[in-house]
Amino acid sequence: MKEALIVWGGWSGHEPQQCAEIVGQMLEEEGFKVFTENTTEAFADPSIRELSLIVPIITMAKIEKEEVSNLLEAVKGGVGLGGYHGGTGDAFRDQPEYQFMVGGQWVAHPGDIIDYRVDVTRADDPVMAGIESFAYRSEQYYMHVDPSNEVLATTRFGGDHAEWIDGTVMPVVWKRRYGRGRVFYSSLGHVASEFQVPQMRAILQRGLVWAAA
């Protein structure tokens, strides 16, 4: 049986505990044995190197040197890492090696909660199978991203809230490698209610399963 660790915490506005419960249920549906912790101390445990998947749901938090070091080595060694929105893409702002692993870092969401479009760019990928481009309402994440990411979906920014980025196309969903580990990220999912959007939920669920393969 595959085993997954979810670690939640950080900024409460992202509803990390509620979201961790939803993600845990999703993984259990996929046959995972799920462990949940609410402290970054869990990343320092050497046993995480035996897991199939690690899911950080932690926004704007601090992490100790030995914790992040062990996490990085676990993924380099083949443990999958998957996550979404600020819980993974804005977890540890002072840890560039963590950001290198994830493949991106949040920097802005002009206009805050707005209507925007998610454009599927890799309909042939199993994560995106059967999902067409769709309208979405949430924070539209502007990110610094790694050009080596395998991008599965994007969004285009308008200039209503920051005219200098009008027309900018930004990755929303991607896959990548970090050492021998698979890494998956989706910028969708500001709060727990967004898991009710079928496309958001399906993309994340499939992506996490891919990362753990």
Indicate the burial class of 29 (C-beta count within 10 angstroms; 0-12, 13-18, 19 or more). Answer: exposed
Q: What is the pLDDT of residue 66?
A: 98
Q: What is the pLDDT of residue 13?
A: 97
Neighbours of 104 (CB within 10 A): 22
pLDDT over threshold 90, residue 213: no
Contact partners, residue 180, CB within 8 Å, separation at least 6: 76, 77, 78
Q: pLDDT (tens digit, 9 = 90+) per residue, 9-44?
A: 999 999 999 999 999 999 999 999 999 999 999 999
Q: What is the mean pLDDT of residues 196-208?
A: 98
Q: pLDDT (tens digit, 9 = 90+) per residue, 63-98?
A: 999 999 999 999 999 999 999 999 999 999 999 999
Average pLDDT of the chain?
Answer: 98
CA gap 187, 143 in Å, rounded:
9
Residues 136, 200 contacting (CB under 8 angstroms)? yes
User: Which structural domains are found in the chain, ordered by start?
Assistant: 3-212 (3.40.50.880)
The type of residue at 34 is V
Indicate the burial class of 124 (C-beta count within 10 angstroms; 0-12, 13-18, 19 or more). Answer: exposed
